[in-house]
Amino acid sequence: MTPIERVRARFAAAEVLGVTQHADTGEIRTAWQRAARSLHPDRAGGDKNRFVQARAAFECLAGDQDGAKTTRPEIRSKRTTLRRPTVARREMMMDPEDYMNCVEILEDNPERTDADHVPVDIVQTGRSLVFRVSAPLVDGVNRVAVPTGVLQPHLRSKPTILKFRSRKAGAGEIHVPDVLLEQRFPGTRSVKIEFTGA
């Protein structure tokens, strides 16, 4: 039954029972009981055809009411049980070729810094990357060479150098700004560099 046919049927059923289209379940039941008492074929003056019409009208209206009551909680319960799928966390060693490319780019771009770093492994969670460096941060200017095509291994891209100043030495982490993500790390949501304290 199309939505238009359903509205028309509801309108006709409401007319048969003598209720408004927006009648609640109690009003519909009362109108049906009144019609059933007066129209029942076993009663004197009863009308079988009108009784059948009244019963069909009651079932139409009561079915809409029951349907509305039963479907809403089901929809709500489905909404609350849906969960976002968990994303697998993947830890991988730096590819030897990527490692050597990172070392070479640092050597090819000599600049006065307090420390140069190359990560030893990468943690990938969805589109988020963490480059782990097995050295501590140095108080002053640090440079880190990292591969840019981790999420797109089919594209052999050159590594990039990230340069920043640290105010403390030891363990820590650096978050790459969103502006650099779009330029240097296509497809990533976040990039972080972790430094160990040893």
pLDDT tops 70 at residue 16: yes
Q: For 99-131, what is each residue's pLDDT tens digit?
A: 899 999 999 988 878 889 999 999 999 889 999
Residues 128 and 145 in one domain: yes
Domain count, the chain: 2
Q: For 60-82, what is each residue's pLDDT tens digit?
A: 888 765 444 444 444 444 455 56
Cα(141)–Cα(117) distance, rounded to whole angstroms? 11
Residues 9 and 45 in one domain: yes
Among 62, 81, 100, the domain-final residue is 81
Using pLDDT thresholds of 50, 70 and 90, give the confidence band for residue 32: confident
Using pLDDT thresholds of 50, 70 and 90, give the confidence band for residue 25: confident
pTM above the 0.85 mark? no
Among 81, 100, 122, the domain-final residue is 81
Residues 115 and 72 in one domain: no
Cα(145)–Cα(58) distance, rounded to whole angstroms? 76
Among 81, 100, 130, the domain-final residue is 81
Other residues' Cβ atoms within 10 Å of the Cβ of residue 68:
10
Residues 35 and 126 in one domain: no
Please give the pLDDT value at position 81.
57
Please give the pLDDT value at position 71.
40
Across 51-67, average pLDDT = 78
Between 186 and 73, the higher pLDDT residue: 186
Q: Which domain holds residue 72?
A: 3-81
Residues 116 and 187 in one domain: yes
Q: For residue 102, what are the CA distances in angstroms to 14, 105, 143, 147? A: 78, 5, 11, 7
* Distant-in-sequence, close-in-space partners of 28: CB < 8 Å, separation ≥ 6: 17, 19, 58, 61, 62, 65
Residues 77 and 100 in one domain: no
Residues 133 and 108 in one domain: yes
